């Protein structure tokens, strides 16, 4: 299977990442292990998580996803076969004080992640969100220490603006600190404008690997939500899908996905992911699965190669300009 480099890190990954925010939330440990087995058995290797996953589920404290991944790694001995990407900095609970990118907090958080993951090192350690209250120099110097200690191989950022990424790269260069090799922005066939206008040119120019999240637009691009009735009573998630995606442009995108899927004898989810993987700036979109059928869709999307005419048709249907 084709492998792509994470920025200039030397770390090679297959062109699709498994997003594990679902572990310990909508799926339990047993199903999570089956999904990771299926993912890696298919030759895929990038597993994306975060220390905060999945704190939003009532009763959770954060770290559930990393814990399940750690138990899976211990059980199957596949540590050298996978690339583990986790994140630090997002708040671990209101009033906990456990958040941000200060040296003190990162040093505390990385040890907790390593313990949960049951590993000696993290392949890609990412700043989950910008921290305007901590000097960039302090954060990067801390990462420098962790890389020197062998606890982290490379660093990345998530939810950063192009301006803050540029500032970070300048400081890395000035002080000889490691630089961010990857960026995690929101990007999919519907959510195109911000990334394509502001982030994509920067990432291409600086050879930053892009691991985009919400690759299927919260499930909308699978085609399962076409009317308000389809969404039903799905709470905040359903309302977000309905309010943002269920409109003329969204339905036009689904129509194009249906058309291309029919041509390739496949389904809209696979086409939407294949469209992302065909874009030159994208290293690996992140997609989640909660059952083995969905995982099969993820795997088969990697095998789907869209021709130029199909990509142009999808570009036109999803145009934001």
Residues ≥6 apart with Cβ < 8 Å to 34: 292
Structure confidence at residue 225 (pLDDT): 83
What domains lie within the chain, and their CATH numbers?
Answer: 4-184 (3.20.20.100)
Q: Is the pLDDT of residue 218 over 70?
A: yes
Residues ≥6 apart with Cβ < 8 Å to 156: 6, 7, 85, 124, 125, 126, 127, 180, 181, 182, 183, 184, 209, 211
Residue-wise pLDDT for 241-291, tens only, equals: 888 998 999 999 999 999 999 999 999 999 999 999 999 999 999 999 999
Residue-wise pLDDT for 221-239, tens only, equals: 998 888 777 777 666 777 7
Q: What average pLDDT does the structure give for the chain?
A: 95
240 phi and psi angles, rounded to 5 deg: -65, -45
Structure confidence at residue 231 (pLDDT): 75
Mean pLDDT of 193-204: 97
Q: Are 22 and 29 in contact (CB under 8 A)?
A: no
Structure confidence at residue 58 (pLDDT): 92
> The whole model's pTM is what?
0.95
In Å, how far are 45, 178, 210, 314 from 83, measured between CA atoms?
Answer: 6, 19, 15, 31
As a whole number of angstroms, the distance between CA 16 and CA 83 comes to 12
Structure confidence at residue 230 (pLDDT): 76
Could you tell me the pLDDT band of residue 123, with boundaries at 50, 70 and 90?
very high
Residue-wise pLDDT for 68-88, tens only, equals: 999 999 999 999 999 999 999
Q: Other C-beta atoms within 10 Å of 193: how many?
A: 12
Q: What is the per-residue burial (b if ≥16 Cβ within 10 Å, else e) of 290-313?
A: eeeebbebbbbbbebebeeebeeb
Tell me which residue of 74, 39, 51 sits closest to 292, measured CA to CA. Answer: 39
Q: Other C-beta atoms within 10 Å of 94: how many?
A: 6
Structure confidence at residue 94 (pLDDT): 63
Q: Is the pLDDT of residue 151 over 90?
A: yes
């Amino acid at each position: 299977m084709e492998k792509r480099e994470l920025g200039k890190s030397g770390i090679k990954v297959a062109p699709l990442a498994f997003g594990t925010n679902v572990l310990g939330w909508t799926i339990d440990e047993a199903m999570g292990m089956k999904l990771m087995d299926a993912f890696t058995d298919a030759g895929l290797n990038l597993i994306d998580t975060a220390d905060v996953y999945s704190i939003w589920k009532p009763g959770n404290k954060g770290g559930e996803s990393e814990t399940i991944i750690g138990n899976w790694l211990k059980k199957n001995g596949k540590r050298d076969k996978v690339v583990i990407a986790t994140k630090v900095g997002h708040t671990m609970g209101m009033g906990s004080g456990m958040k941000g990118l200060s040296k003190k907090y990162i040093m505390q958080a990385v040890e907790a992640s390593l313990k949960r993951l049951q590993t000696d090192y993290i392949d890609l350690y990412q700043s989950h969100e910008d921290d305007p209250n901590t000097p960039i120099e302090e954060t990067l110097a801390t990462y420098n220490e962790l890389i020197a200690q062998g606890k982290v191989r490379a660093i990345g950022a998530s939810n950063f603006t192009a301006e803050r990424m540029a500032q970070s790269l300048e400081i890395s260069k000035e002080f000889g600190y490691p630089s961010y090799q990857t960026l995690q922005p929101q990007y999919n066939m519907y959510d195109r404008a911000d990334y394509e206008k502001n982030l994509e040119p920067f990432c291409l120019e600086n050879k930053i690997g892009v691991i985009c999240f919400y690759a299927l637009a919260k499930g909308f691009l699978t085609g399962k939500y076409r009317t308000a009735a389809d969404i039903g009573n799905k709470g905040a998630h359903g309302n977000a899908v309905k309010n943002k995606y269920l409109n003329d442009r969204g339905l036009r995108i689904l129509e194009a996905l249906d058309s291309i899927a029919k041509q390739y004898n496949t389904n809209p989810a696979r086409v939407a992911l294949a469209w992302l993987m065909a874009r030159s700036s994208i290293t690996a979109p992140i997609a989640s699965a909660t059952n083995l059928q969905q995982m099969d869709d993820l795997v088969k999307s990697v095998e789907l190669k869209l021709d130029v005419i199909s990509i142009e048709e999808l570009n036109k249907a999803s145009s934001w300009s």
